[in-house]
Chain A
């Protein structure tokens, strides 16, 4: 393949600007004092502080895991600053009071934080470094009884809900990075949709890491009460830095009886330069718990980060619950991704679908790692898994590590995987129809990913397609 495919991917990272904003940053390092300071700065009730401290102590006894198929140098957890907030003079009353420079940053990102976006019908909660800056559309949502705010605010305003559900899906002891996050998480989004309510608009959060040497540890908690429906979108970017930044987030989804939660991510953290310097370490724990007749659906488009390591999972606890995972992961240059899902079938007649598309270019390495587990009592469980990989160039790698563990004979589990390259003849055909090699690759790749993109909400689908094009630029030609 060719030199013709070899040079189609290398536009510069578009979101790599730094915003000069005075930030209130805690000194680097992690200790009980820092945990207390974070909790103090956020005026949290005592139960939160206690929970953070328990998590911190647990974290001290845990070891950083090294089983994923990724390589990176040691992380110095004492060199990271665990809290960074844009400095503001007083609590914000409305979005107009937000620092105009911040808003300009969002404009550059194309984040629709203002009125125009309201017309587009998207409610955005933007997380800048660690603190939620402002939430749009809140009034409209509150009419339906929907709570959509930053987690920090929810801890203060709705402590009962938070106390009940925080850590109920991903306990603080779950894994090394989840424990770290539980100890120091700074902010994140909180959504509660009451019984029987269908959230009328797509909810959206935009995460951005701005300050140097800060880690971002956001935590998202979404609760859909019985029979409720919510669709949530998450986007991520970070400025260019020559050092690696750590991002260890936790997302918990709770779908009660008959509820549906749809969670879509477009992850475009800074991936490092062509030599693999810098970039975000994206170590994320995402998990949902589905009660009877509930449905949880994860859709993700992973194009950024130097290292991605995440497994959005579903615990199919209730009978007839449904879990879905649709993923596109693209790696270029020196990016590494180890991503996939876990579907744990506990209830009867539970169903799960996994569609994973991996694209490797440059010297990137892409691994799919998934676990489908059918416990002995999960009668009638059904899983279908499809994971396809595409290789562009001959210095990249694609790996598949599916684990299938079945303990019930009425379960039907299917797994299919394939690996292939973009055919020279396909490119030739498209070029012969007047498309450039780059357009041809882009078209073939979007066709390859179509099954996943169709799961994304409209505006995200367009963005995802564009991002994919940018990530793969220069990898062919």
Chain B
């Protein structure tokens, strides 16, 4: 059975690969029917336009108008030593548990996940269908593809990705690194990584999700990560989007949080010509907290859009959000942060901040911090600022003998420093501090 769509519409090029994928029945029946339903939804929704309020400032026409080849088979030619540049390793600490995906497919030969401590389990999605059916049955239940065409598209093509399970009362000693890497073989290709992170009661873990490239190829990454944080558990989840400069990246992260859990998210975006990152979390139990931070640094013609949503569904929860942006060249940054407080979510404490620094007179920022509040006993604030480098500060540094370019770099670094300080993994923080100092020379 093939799917019928309007001939010539942007979704048409996805039909044949989809029919081929569902023809291969290696995944269980429920996955097949979910893929089918998601694909129908995708064809019904089509790619969003700027008339869609959630996509008002971001046109996905470059993605919709391109024909990408589904990277279904294993491709890629990445050597182990090429990974060092993206591993954050300093050589002083033990190597992280790492799962490497090359051009969208799991590469066990490059990964370091054979020896795992008790309570930590990692699978690639393709084998998890059969090896861990009771874990993966959460897929599709945390995030919905009903209104998001890209999530629908990902669900239709979900095939590979990482499944992370941390058992209850387990504290993982080192970060777990999910490294998605592409090389020149990914050119004109599309991949749909689908990840699942499940933390049991009182578990504690750090998961890093990286998207990087060794090439300058044009490709499209369409990732979805679902996160479940059980009672009293803490997850630090850092997403590092450092894709190739001409590539496209759309990623959705959605977390579901139980009582007293804490979800800490950090989203870095420095790569891709056009990128969109959604970070959503629902505080579904009393006393839960969410910390959503991010940093985007753009130049040239880059376009980067972040959309975050924090749903306070239960009383006595807190949320903290700090997103900072540094824009140079003709780049365009977009930030849309929503905080939604349900009628029963009394004693909510929410704070949201977005600051953007414009380095050039052709850079542009559109920011929209949003509050929707239906409970009365709450404390919610949000703030947004847009500005340039303070001239008096620049003058002061110059008067102390620091050259203008260096002074600008220092001040840019200082602007980003307070969000970088929130990173609790030293290697990443140091690496990003250096990157910030060197990014705008």
Number of chain A residues whose Cβ lies closer than 8 Å to a Cβ of chain B: 37
Whether B359 contacts A402 by the Cβ 8 Å rule is no
**Chain B neighbourhood of A403, CB < 8 A:** 366-368
**Chain B neighbourhood of A376, CB < 8 A:** 361-362, 364
Give Cα A408–Cα B370 distance, bound, in whole angstroms. Answer: 23
Q: Is B372 an interface residue (CB 8 A)?
A: yes
**Chain A neighbourhood of B383, CB < 8 A:** 414-417
Q: Is B373 an interface residue (CB 8 A)?
A: yes
Q: Is B384 an interface residue (CB 8 A)?
A: yes
Instruction: Encode A392-426 as 1/0 by CB contact (under 8 A) with B.
Output: 11111111111111111111111111111100000
Query: Which of B360, B370, B387 is within 8 Å of A411, CB to CB?
Result: B387
Whether A409 contacts B376 by the Cβ 8 Å rule is no
**Chain A neighbourhood of B381, CB < 8 A:** 416-419
Given the interface contacts A395-B343, A400-B382, A420-B379, does A409 sit within 8 Å of B371 by beta carbon?
Answer: no
Give Cα A245–Cα B53 distance, bound, in whole angstroms. Answer: 29
**Chain B neighbourhood of A412, CB < 8 A:** 385-388
**Chain B neighbourhood of A409, CB < 8 A:** 358-361, 363, 388
Q: Is B128 an interface residue (CB 8 A)?
A: no
A404 nearest CB across to chain B (Å): 4
Q: Is A67 an interface residue (CB 8 A)?
A: yes
Give Cα A405–Cα B358 distance, bound, in whole angstroms. Answer: 12
**Chain B neighbourhood of A392, CB < 8 A:** 376
Q: Is B378 an interface residue (CB 8 A)?
A: yes
Given the interface contacts A67-B53, A409-B360, does A391 sit within 8 Å of B366 by beta carbon?
Answer: no
**Chain A neighbourhood of B53, CB < 8 A:** 67
Name the residue on A nearest B388 (C-beta): A409
Q: Is B172 an interface residue (CB 8 A)?
A: no
**Chain A neighbourhood of B367, CB < 8 A:** 403-406
**Chain A neighbourhood of B361, CB < 8 A:** 376, 379, 408-410
Q: Is B365 an interface residue (CB 8 A)?
A: yes
Q: Is A1 an interface residue (CB 8 A)?
A: yes
Which residues of chain B from 377 to 424 have any CB-CB distance to chain A below 8 Å in the complex?
377-388
Q: Is A389 an interface residue (CB 8 A)?
A: yes
Whether B364 contacts A407 by the Cβ 8 Å rule is yes
Whether A394 contacts B376 by the Cβ 8 Å rule is yes
Give Cα A304–Cα B375 distance, bound, in whole angstroms. Answer: 23
Whether A415 contacts B384 by the Cβ 8 Å rule is yes
A311 nearest CB across to chain B (Å): 15
B328 nearest CB across to chain A (Å): 9
B266 nearest CB across to chain A (Å): 23
Give Cα A406–Cα B366 distance, bound, in whole angstroms. Answer: 6
Given the interface contacts A417-B381, A421-B378, does A404 sit within 8 Å of B343 by beta carbon?
Answer: no
**Chain B neighbourhood of A416, CB < 8 A:** 381-383
Q: Is B369 an interface residue (CB 8 A)?
A: yes
Query: Which of B373, B374, B386 is within 8 Å of A404, CB to CB?
Result: B386
Q: Is B346 an interface residue (CB 8 A)?
A: yes
**Chain B neighbourhood of A418, CB < 8 A:** 379-381
B256 nearest CB across to chain A (Å): 24
Name the residue on A nearest B336 (C-beta): A403
Given the interface contacts A376-B362, A397-B373, A409-B359, does A391 sit within 8 Å of B385 by beta carbon?
Answer: no
Given the interface contacts A394-B346, A401-B368, does A419 sit within 8 Å of B359 by beta carbon?
Answer: no
A420 nearest CB across to chain B (Å): 6
Whether A404 contacts B366 by the Cβ 8 Å rule is yes
A412 nearest CB across to chain B (Å): 5
Given the interface contacts A391-B373, A406-B364, does A413 sit within 8 Å of B358 by beta carbon?
Answer: no
Name the residue on B nearest A418 (C-beta): B381
Give Cα A420–Cα B381 distance, bound, in whole angstroms. Answer: 9
**Chain A neighbourhood of B369, CB < 8 A:** 400, 402, 415, 417
Given the interface contacts A389-B373, A391-B376, A405-B365, does A410 sit within 8 Å of B388 by beta carbon?
Answer: yes
Give Cα A410–Cα B358 distance, bound, in whole angstroms. Answer: 8
**Chain A neighbourhood of B380, CB < 8 A:** 418-420
**Chain B neighbourhood of A67, CB < 8 A:** 53
Query: Which of A394, A408, A415, A417 is within 8 Å of B375, CB to CB?
Result: A394
Query: Which of B359, B376, B386 is within 8 Å of A406, CB to CB?
Result: B386
Whether A401 contacts B373 by the Cβ 8 Å rule is no
Give Cα A412–Cα B358 distance, bound, in whole angstroms. Answer: 10
**Chain B neighbourhood of A411, CB < 8 A:** 358, 386-388
Whether A391 contacts B384 by the Cβ 8 Å rule is no
Which residues of chain B from 323 to 361 have any CB-CB distance to chain A below 8 Å in the complex?
343, 346, 356, 358-361
Given the interface contacts A376-B362, A404-B366, A405-B365, does A419 sit within 8 Å of B373 by beta carbon?
Answer: yes
Name the residue on A nearest B379 (C-beta): A420
**Chain A neighbourhood of B388, CB < 8 A:** 409-412
**Chain B neighbourhood of A407, CB < 8 A:** 364
**Chain A neighbourhood of B57, CB < 8 A:** 405
Give Cα A47–Cα B191 distance, bound, in whole angstroms. Answer: 61
Give Cα A25–Cα B379 distance, bound, in whole angstroms. Answer: 51
Name the residue on B nearest A389 (C-beta): B373
Give Cα A414–Cα B372 distance, bound, in whole angstroms. Answer: 20
A359 nearest CB across to chain B (Å): 11
Whether B371 contacts A419 by the Cβ 8 Å rule is yes
B116 nearest CB across to chain A (Å): 45
B306 nearest CB across to chain A (Å): 14
**Chain A neighbourhood of B384, CB < 8 A:** 402, 404, 413-415
Whether B358 contacts A406 by the Cβ 8 Å rule is yes
Which residues of chain B from 260 to 275 have any CB-CB distance to chain A below 8 Å in the complex?
none
Whether A417 contacts B363 by the Cβ 8 Å rule is no
Give Cα A392–Cα B376 distance, bound, in whole angstroms. Answer: 6
Whether A398 contacts B363 by the Cβ 8 Å rule is no
Give Cα A415–Cα B369 distance, bound, in whole angstroms. Answer: 9
Which residues of chain A from 373 to 388 have any CB-CB distance to chain B below 8 Å in the complex?
374, 376, 379
**Chain A neighbourhood of B374, CB < 8 A:** 396-397
Whether B376 contacts A421 by the Cβ 8 Å rule is yes
Give Cα A416–Cα B363 distance, bound, in whole angstroms. Answer: 23
Give Cα A408–Cα B381 distance, bound, in whole angstroms. Answer: 26
Give Cα A419–Cα B350 distance, bound, in whole angstroms. Answer: 10
Which residues of chain B from 166 to 208 have any CB-CB distance to chain A below 8 Å in the complex?
none
A345 nearest CB across to chain B (Å): 12
Given the interface contacts A67-B53, A394-B343, A406-B365, does A413 sit within 8 Å of B386 by beta carbon?
Answer: yes
Tell which of B346, B376, B381, B388 has the most Cβ of chain A within 10 Å.
B376
Name the residue on B nearest A386 (C-beta): B383
Whether A404 contacts B365 by the Cβ 8 Å rule is yes
**Chain B neighbourhood of A406, CB < 8 A:** 356, 358, 364-367, 386
Name the residue on A nearest B53 (C-beta): A67
A354 nearest CB across to chain B (Å): 13
Whether B370 contacts A401 by the Cβ 8 Å rule is yes
Whether B371 contacts A393 by the Cβ 8 Å rule is no
**Chain A neighbourhood of B373, CB < 8 A:** 389, 391, 397-399, 419
Name the residue on A nearest B381 (C-beta): A418
Whether B378 contacts A405 by the Cβ 8 Å rule is no
Query: Which of A374, A379, A417 is within 8 Å of B382, CB to CB?
Result: A417
Instruction: Encode A420-453 as 1/0 by CB contact (under 8 A) with B.
Output: 1100000000000000000000000000000000
Whether A415 contacts B378 by the Cβ 8 Å rule is no
Given the interface contacts A376-B361, A397-B372, A398-B373, does A419 sit within 8 Å of B366 by beta carbon?
Answer: no
**Chain A neighbourhood of B377, CB < 8 A:** 1, 394, 421
Tell which of A392, A400, A412 has the most Cβ of chain B within 10 Å.
A400
Give Cα A396–Cα B377 distance, bound, in whole angstroms. Answer: 11
Name the residue on A nearest B355 (C-beta): A414
Chain A contact residues, CB within 8 Å of chain B: 1, 67, 374, 376, 379, 389, 391-421
Report 12 cross-chain contacts, Cβ distance below 8 Å, ordered by A residue: A376-B362, A393-B376, A394-B343, A394-B376, A398-B371, A403-B368, A404-B386, A405-B365, A406-B367, A412-B387, A415-B369, A417-B382
With A394-B343, A400-B382, A420-B378 known, 18 other A-B pairs at CB within 8 A are: A376-B362, A379-B361, A389-B371, A389-B373, A396-B374, A397-B374, A398-B371, A401-B370, A403-B367, A404-B386, A406-B367, A407-B364, A411-B358, A416-B381, A419-B373, A420-B380, A421-B376, A421-B378
- Nearest first, the 9 A-B pairs at minimum CB distance are A409-B358, A391-B376, A415-B384, A413-B386, A400-B371, A418-B381, A419-B380, A397-B374, A406-B386
